């Protein structure tokens, strides 16, 4: 009965999947798998009150993942909440590409920039145990979630991911990363500042969503960083706004070969890939090829 009530509340709020959300909230409160809800005889008392309260919060726009404190990403469940971007299913396709790119690399070094909760980095470490993975994040609140998730996955037996507190726009960051890197993956903030976003996205940190006036403020230095740290033949995959396919491809071409765009599950342009070319083209995409000099901002802090 209470689950049916929650479904009605969520449907009235025009949420896209009211039954799924109601069942996930009930499963969270009852501490059972969603598939086992049918085996629960009845829900009464404080549990029913809690489900109703969570359904009301969800109807009011609170992200489902913030209410449960968990977000599914590929084969993992990650801790999330206020202060960190909730990973989306479309980013799983970028990880698919990255894993395929490393198929024949014996002991790859992988960097996840703008790591947020650590979804990309931790998925790679989980699915490719031979990889040495680094996760770079600049925002203090997101770093807390990243550290928590990295510690949990290491405790579960995955190869530990190295957390790097740093900003892709910092010229000193390259010195804090291993050299050379085989693969750099990123889901940076990329929404243009004036674009209206859905209610659930508005609950994500603005610093993890918006990428300046044209949405490319973070992608530009990110591409330059990739050109500096990737080995010749190393791969780059960067997620971007569906209006950015041509612009991001143009940013990659000075230093990357075989630049290609890829669509998300809805058929929209979602990420672009390329392979680091030979030679010293790093200077052509932003000057990252030089060593850090006096006056540069503080280099990224590497955490064990």
Q: Which residues are catalytic?
A: 85, 187-188
* Size of the chain, expressed as the number of residues it contains: 304
Residue 56 and residue 62 in contact, taking contact as beta carbons nearer than 8 Å: no
Beta-strand ranges (E) seen in the chain are: 70-73, 76-79, 109-113, 132-137, 162-165, 181-186, 230-239, 256-263, 269-276, 301-303
Report how far residue 45's alpha carbon sits from residue 40's, in angstroms, rounded to the nearest whole number: 14
189 belongs to an annotated ligand binding site: yes
DSSP result, 182-212: EEEEE----B-TT----HHHHTS-HHHHB-S
In our burial notation (b when 16+ CB lie closer than 10 A, e otherwise), range 164-195 reads bbbbbbbbbbbbbbeeebbbbbbbbbbbbeee
CA dist 177 to 14, 41, 94, 165, 207, Å?
45, 54, 21, 11, 23
The residues pairing with 172 across neighbouring beta strands, listed in sequence order, are: none
The residues pairing with 110 across neighbouring beta strands, listed in sequence order, are: 133, 183
221 belongs to an annotated ligand binding site: no
190 belongs to an annotated ligand binding site: yes
Structure tokens at 33: 């798998």
Q: Is the peptide bond before 180 cis (omega within 30 degrees of 0)?
A: yes
187 belongs to an annotated ligand binding site: yes
If you compute the radius of gyration of the chain from its CA atoms, what whole number of angstroms results?
A: 21
Residue 216 and residue 169 in contact, taking contact as beta carbons nearer than 8 Å: no
303 belongs to an annotated ligand binding site: no
Structure tokens at 162: 């190295």
Q: Say which residue the tokens 């209410």 belong to.
A: 67
Q: Which residues belong to the annotated binding site for substrate?
A: 187-190
């Amino acid at each position: 009965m209470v689950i049916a009530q929650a479904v009605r509340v969520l449907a009235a709020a025009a949420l896209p999947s009211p039954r799924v959300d109601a069942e996930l909230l009930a499963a969270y409160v009852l501490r059972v798998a969603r598939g086992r809800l049918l085996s629960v005889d009845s829900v009464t008392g404080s549990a029913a009150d809690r489900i109703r309260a969570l359904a009301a919060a969800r109807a009011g726009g609170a992200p489902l993942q913030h209410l449960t404190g968990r977000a599914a990403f590929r084969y993992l469940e990650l801790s999330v909440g206020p202060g960190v971007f909730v990973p989306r299913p479309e980013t799983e396709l970028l990880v698919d590409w990255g894993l395929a790119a490393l198929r024949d690399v014996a002991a790859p070094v992988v960097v996840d920039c703008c790591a947020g909760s650590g979804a990309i980095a931790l998925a790679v470490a989980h699915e490719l145990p031979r990889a040495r993975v680094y996760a770079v994040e600049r925002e203090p609140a997101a770093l807390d979630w990243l550290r928590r998730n990295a510690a949990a996955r290491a405790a579960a037996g995955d190869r530990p991911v190295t957390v790097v507190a740093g900003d892709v726009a910092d010229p000193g960051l390259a010195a804090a990363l291993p050299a050379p890197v085989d693969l750099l993956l990123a889901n940076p903030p990329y929404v243009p500042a004036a674009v209206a976003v859905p209610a659930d996205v508005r609950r994500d940190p603005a610093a993890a969503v918006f990428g300046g006036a044209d949405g490319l403020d973070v992608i530009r230095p990110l591409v330059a960083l990739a050109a500096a740290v990737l080995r010749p033949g190393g791969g780059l995959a960067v997620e971007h706004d569906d209006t950015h396919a041509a612009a991001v491809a143009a940013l990659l071409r000075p230093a990357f070969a075989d630049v290609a765009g890829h669509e998300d599950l809805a058929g929209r342009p979602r990420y672009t890939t390329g392979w680091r070319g030979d030679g010293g083209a790093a200077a052509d995409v932003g000057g990252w090829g030089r060593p850090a000099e006096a006056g540069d901002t503080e280099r990224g802090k590497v955490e064990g």
